Amino acid sequence: MFPAAEGVAPAVTAVFTTVLTEGPISRVALARRLGLSSAAVTKAARPLIEAGYLEELAATERTGPGAGRPASPLAIRADREFFVGVKITGDELIGVVCDLRAQVRASAHRRLDAADVDHVLTQLGELVGDLLDGPGDYRARTRWLGLAVSGDVDHSTGLVRYSPFLRWHDVALAERAEKTTGLTVTVENDVKALTTAEQWFGEGVGADSFALVTVGAGIGCGLVVNGRIVSGAHGVAGEIGHISFDVNGPDCHCGSRGCVEAVAGADAIVSQARAVSGRPSLTFSDAVSLARSGDAAVGAVFARAGTAIGAGIAAVANLVGPARIVVSGEGLSAYDLFEPHIRASFQRQAFGAAAECPLSIRPLPFEEWARGAAAVSIKALVAS
């Protein structure tokens, strides 16, 4: 069991979280970092070491005068426990097994013939079985399953209120998946799950505030402010895909028009590329190939999409002022076509010092979504 004895639980959680996200780290550095006494850190670390979650590395040499006795840094034992993460899309399940540091140890996926809840749960049960009972023998040390779903998700109850790609309304997903798999299940919105992975194990580590912008079928945004993921009073926050980019632009599925997503979402790019090329069956990768081979009209579609994304990102910088912004997503497999336009548009629209916010622009392997789901479970373990 994860130790959380009464009275010491907050310090245990703080020590574990800091070693997990910033370790290996010495007790002295931990005490300084957390504002705790050395004795309190030692007391909090003991049950974590006894339960096998932390280990003491070999003492390092003293560095410099007055450094005191050699420090033995504390480190995570990454294979103490494993976590399954699954991203559920409208036509596929993507699953991974992660260790405690959210490193992917195994992955598998299954195509979905239908998106009704019963069918998805049956496939989910089989996928989890494949992952845990295959090579690696993860079953014995796995108790948690994280699920990531796009749409309106209540993380605290595990209820999927509405998921447009799955056409689900009010599905008690955590409860049903627990019955199917026997694991403790967390459910989170997919963009928030990715943001969690970035906050704990990626570029967000140590940043008080940052934003993660995802580019793909939709344009999403996860926001961390003062170290916490922003959910918004109505469960909607950071919807930069539905910021108006061009009031005379194309209709958006949300009912508005000219939204960033209506210009830069994958479907929007395909339909604009079909229109300008006169090829009605063009796919997204056809459009990428045409643009890369110098087709000016299709190239302009990607340029406009990049400009819209840059404007959305500038809105985040102007409103929230995050320390850094990560732009990622499967749509960025074509990021050579987007990147200069995202950066130019961002620089143009970010106000004053907001333009100094560093942008990391990189493609995102689809498995990262599943890893995000596992990261939510890791966070839930730590909070439990």
Q: Which is nearer to Zn ion, 103 or 244 (CB)?
A: 244
Least gap, CB of 48 to Zn ion (angstroms): 46
Q: What is the distance between the alpha carbons of residues 365 and 330, in angstroms, rounded to a whole number? A: 6
Q: Which is nearer to Zn ion, 217 or 252 (CB)?
A: 252
Least gap, CB of 253 to Zn ion (angstroms): 7
94 is an interface residue for Zn ion by CB under 5 A: no
Q: Which is nearer to Zn ion, 85 or 220 (CB)?
A: 220
Q: Which is nearer to Zn ion, 124 or 260 (CB)?
A: 260
SS (HEC) of the chain = CCCCCCCCHHHHHHHHHHHHHHCCECHHHHHHHHCCCHHHHHHHHHHHHHCCCEEECCCCCCCCCCCCCCCCCEEECHHHCEEEEEEECCCEEEEEEECCCCCEEEEEEEECCCCCHHHHHHHHHHHHHHHHHCCCCCHHHEEEEEEEECCEEECCCCEEEEECCCCEEEEEHHHHHHHHHCCEEEEEEHHHHHHHHHHHHCCCCCCCCEEEEEECCCEEEEEEECCEECCCCCCCCCCHHHCECCCCCCECCCCCECEHHHHHCHHHHHHHHHHHHCCCCCCHHHHHHHHHCCCHHHHHHHHHHHHHHHHHHHHHHHHHCCCEEEEECHHHHHHHHHHHHHHHHHHHHCCHHHHHCCEEECCCCCHHHHHHHHHHHHHHHHHC
383 is an interface residue for Zn ion by CB under 5 A: no
Q: Which is nearer to Zn ion, 242 or 274 (CB)?
A: 242
| Interaction mask 313-342, Zn ion, x per CB under 5 A | ------------------------------
Q: What is the distance between the alpha carbons of residues 84 and 342, in angstroms, rounded to a whole number? A: 34
Q: Which is nearer to Zn ion, 114 or 254 (CB)?
A: 254
Least gap, CB of 259 to Zn ion (angstroms): 3
67 is an interface residue for Zn ion by CB under 5 A: no
242 is an interface residue for Zn ion by CB under 5 A: yes
Least gap, CB of 342 to Zn ion (angstroms): 19
106 within 8 A of 371, measured Cβ to Cβ: no
Segment lying near Zn ion (by CB under 5 A), choices 68-76, 134-142, 240-248, 313-321: 240-248
Least gap, CB of 250 to Zn ion (angstroms): 10
Q: Which is nearer to Zn ion, 42 or 271 (CB)?
A: 271
Least gap, CB of 231 to Zn ion (angstroms): 20
Between helix 9-22 and helix 27-34 the angle, nearest 10°, is 110
Answer positive or negative: Cα dihedral of 245, 161, 366, 223.
positive
127 is an interface residue for Zn ion by CB under 5 A: no
244 is an interface residue for Zn ion by CB under 5 A: no
Count of chain residues binding Zn ion (CB under 5 A): 5
Least gap, CB of 62 to Zn ion (angstroms): 59
Least gap, CB of 258 to Zn ion (angstroms): 8
Q: Which is nearer to Zn ion, 257 or 343 (CB)?
A: 257
| Interaction mask 245-264, Zn ion, x per CB under 5 A | -------x-x-x--x-----
Least gap, CB of 214 to Zn ion (angstroms): 15
Report 26-65 residues binding Zn ion (CB under 5 A).
none
> Could you list the residues that contact Zn ion (CB under 5 A)?
242, 252, 254, 256, 259
